[in-house]
Amino acid sequence: MILKARVALKLKFIIPISLIFFISGCSEYSDQINHSIKGERIGVLVVSHGGFETFGEKETWESTMQIFSYDQNSPVYNQIIWNPEYWSQILKAGNAPKELGKYSFEFERIGGVDPYPESKRILTEQLALSLQDKEKNMGVDFIVDKMTWISPDIYELVNPRNLYYSKIGNDVRLNYCGAGDPSWNACEADRYNVDGPVERLLKLDIDRMIMIDLTTAGARFSKTFDVFIEAKKIIEKFNKTNKTSISLEWVNDPNELMLNSFPTEPKNWTRSLGEPISNPLVNYKDNPNPVIRDIRLADFHIKGIELELNSEVPIENTGVLMINHGILSLNEVFDPKINDTLILNKNIKKQLLKKYPEMESKNILGGWFGDMVKNEKIKVGRSTSSSIERSREMRGENLGYNILYDSDNERPKGEWGYRYWEALDQLRKNNVNHIVVVFPQIMENSVLNLVEVPNQIAKEIGYMNWIKINVLDFKTYPKIGHPFADYWGVWVNPVCKSMQDPSVTEACCFEMGGCQNDQPYPPQRQTALDQKRNDLDPSLAFDVSHFGHLGYDPTMGSPSQTEPTQSQYNGTWSMWRVEEDHQLVAEFLADKVIEHIESR
């Protein structure tokens, strides 16, 4: 093992104990440094999606700015982020009002604190301990930190100063602090003028830096690639300045498939520029993801499925639905997230059938979220740049774009090609009596799997079929014992035009079977057909009814609140459980890091 001389750099970066950076929720770097190790010092970064722990205007504002900071070709980046006149207005535009309404409900339902950030802190600490246990045998000094795509904890961002100093040529610093909402009370104007985890690790004289990714449970994804590219820029600049040769390696993408297949023309391409001119083709099968294909990752989900089986329903009458998000449109030219996800899905199914041979293969399905659709009637012009909009048929959703990597617009097929409501309907037709819903792309609890997905499932097959409805769960949902809204789409405009006089407005109807006024259910589209449907259009909301929409025909009579009618689903359903043994997950990640090092 060849090591560079450290002495000069060590003298340069001696830091008093009082100034050593802390890992938020984890050990101090000083506690991790092992001076007895004479071999390499390796910085390990656990990368995740990130998100806010508590909900407020500040948290939503921060995440909005951070999301758009990665696409420096976007109008938001060039016209809003570095324009102080817009800073106070950002949450009134685009889909911000929808996100505010959604997250306000979701955080209230779980008691105000999302468990996701704390889980990440614990996992990072456990990974540090796991790798420390391996240091002596490896002859390596490991320093572990966490890094996120977005976060209200600015110290977790790959390069906070990307959102401090303007990159468009004007003399602007992003130092906005809002007023009114309590979330702004402790705001620090210069919060983005700090080092991120990459810079902090570089100051500890590391020899290599290794990323391992759980952004979408191990699948490679453009969001992690955003972080990878920014980290790479920082390290390259450091190497040039200090005449060092520190490398950045990504355990999930050891052959750099995403980097090698990234569009080369136009220069600095992002999806905001439209389809790329030059797109290098790199074979997916020759560049596997060692994290996603590891059977142990699938086994974490098997355990979570087993915990939510219905003991009163035979395995042969049990169904499993694996739901997943897609990618951002156009990113299929370099993003293999869909392909990686399919490998995990297939491994879960393989392990399930191996352990429960009596379970029927036809009852283990994949289902994607809804996607935007093209409305040919929309007039594209200066005020409307696209004819793509949300639709009721796609459940008002936009996270289900699922084109396979570098394919000719191919999507998953067969058992893996359903939308989640189509898969639920197929399981209903298969006469299963219990369905376990799994979200393989996540490894920690958050409002996503605790509130959002349960409502999406309940509107299809009913909240009264939820397996816990008669006992409730006040630990997870402190105030009411369950995650369900009256209707899913709580953020939409509740006012509709009168059926008799369009100049008059009245309350929309969000109840299957209809309301006392003349408003129809489902609510009619309020946006003109030749205009892009607003995210808050009432037609995008669904009643979270007793037994769901699937199998129900309103022309055949009113729904029942006491039992399924017509062909509605008459079994039970539950959400699988994420693996909450952080030490076990940390050991898995540590093993993957060690395997990566030994493979070099």
Task: List pLDDT tens digits, range 112-159.
Answer: 999 999 999 999 999 999 999 999 999 999 999 999 999 999 999 999
Return the pLDDT at 15. Answer: 35
Return the pLDDT at 16. Answer: 35
Q: How far is the first Cα of the chain from the last one, in angstroms, to the nearest whole number?
A: 11
Residue 504 has which token pair?
């008059």
- Cβ-based neighbour number of residue 419 at 10 Å: 21
C-alpha 445/C-alpha 380 separation (Å) is: 40
Return the pLDDT at 20. Answer: 37
3-class SS of residue 212: strand
Domains in the chain: ranges and CATH: 37-53+115-159+196-262+581-600 (3.40.50.1400), 54-113+160-194 (no CATH), 295-442+446-575 (no CATH)
Query: Which residues of the chain, if any, have pLDDT below 70?
Result: 1-28
Q: Where are the beta strands (DSSP E) in 205-246?
A: 208-213
pTM of the model: 0.93
**Which residues lie below 8 Å from residue 127, measured CB to CB, with a gap of 6+?**
44, 46, 144, 586, 589, 590
Sign of the torsion angle spanned by Cα atoms 223, 228, 229, 230: positive
Return the pLDDT at 93. Answer: 85
Question: Reduced to 3 DSSP states, what percent helix, strand and coil does the chain have, rounded to the nearest 5?
Answer: 35, 10, 55
What CA–CA distances, in Å, run from 243 to 188, 198, 238, 240, 588?
A: 35, 17, 8, 5, 35
Tokens 């800073």 correspond to: 87
Residue 374 has which token pair?
């093209």
Over the Cα atoms of the chain, what is R_g? Answer: 25
Return the pLDDT at 116. Answer: 96
* 430: region left, alpha or beta (phi > 0 left; psi from -120 to 50 alpha): alpha
C-alpha 168/C-alpha 170 separation (Å) is: 6
Closest CA to 423 of 324, 491, 514: 324
Task: List pLDDT tens digits, range 358-380.
Answer: 999 999 999 999 999 999 999 88
